[in-house]
Amino acid sequence: MTELLPQGTSTWPSSFTAGLHAALRRRIPPRADGPALETLSRDLVLALEQGELTVALTPERLAAAQASGWLEGDASPLLLQGDRLGWRRWLQAMEQVVAELVERAHAPVPKPVEAVDPELSDRLNAEQCAAARALDQASVVLLSGGPGTGKTSTVVEILARAEARHPGLRIGLAAPTGKAARRLGEAVMAQRAPLSCSTLHRWLEAGSCGFGRHRQRPLELDLLVIDEMSMLDLALTQALLEALPSGCRLLLGGGIQLSCRGGEWSGLASAAAAGRARSFRCRRRASGAHLPQPRCLGAGGATAAPGESGGLCSGSGRPA
């Protein structure tokens, strides 16, 4: 967790946090102002830069927040969560994202059109085969692991199995950046027929007036694969979830930090714990063989081996 953050740790200009605090003071004049409140604003901004939504609640921070009046009312900029303090906007956004992911994780899995059990590649070990079958029982699957751990091969097997059981399945590939999207598309298409692959902004038809895809005009997809989830910010994630049809399943991939990072995407672990999302972490054996380890994500982002989580992991358009 981000604790006391000294000045000089930010990559942003020093004038940025001062300007943000000044703008906030003009928009929501504090009841009591002073250096302590400006320091609190700076620490919260630096926490966001480091991927944290909150800072530890110290007596000094609590006193500054209470004296300012910025904790009072539904429109106040700050929010207390236990022994942590953060920006209300981002904490509420995280709650909404987690709630949406939990709802999707609880969604019933479509029955297969074809009652088939496709044979998996003999290149997969037992753990990879378990990951490849995860989408049979889950609407949300998390797959993490670094380069060279067999993540792409597992994704390809998941897609092939899903298409065999659901002919005509509408599948999309996406990533937060153009570079990541190209890398994902090339890696997957090296092992199978091409699929629509683009950035999330293009999938959502981003424009000067917002996104062209939303709840009233959802994406025409049955399964969306997203790589580099750890790079997504909350605003883009909210927009994506609003644009997905209710029956669209999700295969979410990313680096190893996907399931253990303490910042924004600790919420992904919370969603997995509260719902029926299946989580797999791809590892590399000392010999170089791929070893994806099924992991059940517990409350607060803690991981446990299968059987140790109390049953929390029981199963979970095209670009412009």
Decide: 270 and 299 in contact? Cβ < 8 Å.
yes
- Tell me the pTM: 0.76
At 47-58, the pLDDT tens digits run 888 878 899 999
At 122-163, the pLDDT tens digits run 777 777 787 788 888 889 888 877 667 777 888 888 999 999
User: How far apart (Å, rounded) are the C-alpha atoms in residues 228 and 131?
Assistant: 18
Tell me, what's the pLDDT at 220? 97
DSSP 112: P
User: How far apart (Å, rounded) are the C-alpha atoms in residues 5 and 220?
Assistant: 45
The structural domains of the chain, with segments of one domain joined by +, span 14-82, 94-304
pLDDT higher than threshold 60 for residue 303: no
The two counts, helices (H) then strands (E), for the chain are: 10, 13
- Spell out where 17-136 has E strands: 54-56, 78-81, 84-87
Lowest mean pLDDT among 47-56, 164-173, 208-217, 306-315: 306-315
Tell me, what's the pLDDT at 233? 83
User: How far apart (Å, rounded) are the C-alpha atoms in residues 138 and 109?
Assistant: 6
Q: What is the CATH number of domain 94-304?
A: 3.40.50.300
- Sign of the CA dihedral 105, 163, 154, 197? negative
User: How far apart (Å, rounded) are the C-alpha atoms in residues 217 and 221?
Assistant: 12
* Section 264-269 average pLDDT: 54
Tell me, what's the pLDDT at 293? 40
At 44-92, the pLDDT tens digits run 998 888 878 899 999 999 999 999 999 999 999 999 999 999 999 989 9
* Section 221-234 average pLDDT: 89
The number of angstroms, rounded, from the C-alpha of 55 to the middle of its chain's C-alpha atoms is 20
Tell me, what's the pLDDT at 285? 46
Tell me, what's the pLDDT at 275? 55
* Section 216-237 average pLDDT: 91
Inter-CA distances, 18 with 11, 13, 22, 40, Å: 14, 9, 6, 11
- Sign of the CA dihedral 306, 312, 315, 319? negative
- Spell out where the chain has E strands: 54-56, 78-81, 84-87, 140-145, 171-175, 196-199, 206-207, 210-211, 223-226, 249-254, 278-284, 290-297, 303-304
pLDDT higher than threshold 50 for residue 11: yes
* Section 232-252 average pLDDT: 92
Tell me, what's the pLDDT at 281? 67
Q: Report, in this order, helix, strand and coil percent for the chain, each rounded to 5.
A: 40, 20, 40
User: How far apart (Å, rounded) are the C-alpha atoms in residues 176 and 141?
Assistant: 18
The two structure tokens encoding residue 195: 């699929």
Of the ranges 100-104, 241-245, 316-320, the best mean pLDDT one: 241-245
Q: Kindly calculate the radius of gyration of the chain based on its CA atoms and give it in whole angstroms.
A: 21
Lowest mean pLDDT among 187-191, 212-216, 238-242: 187-191
Mean pLDDT (the chain, rounded) = 79
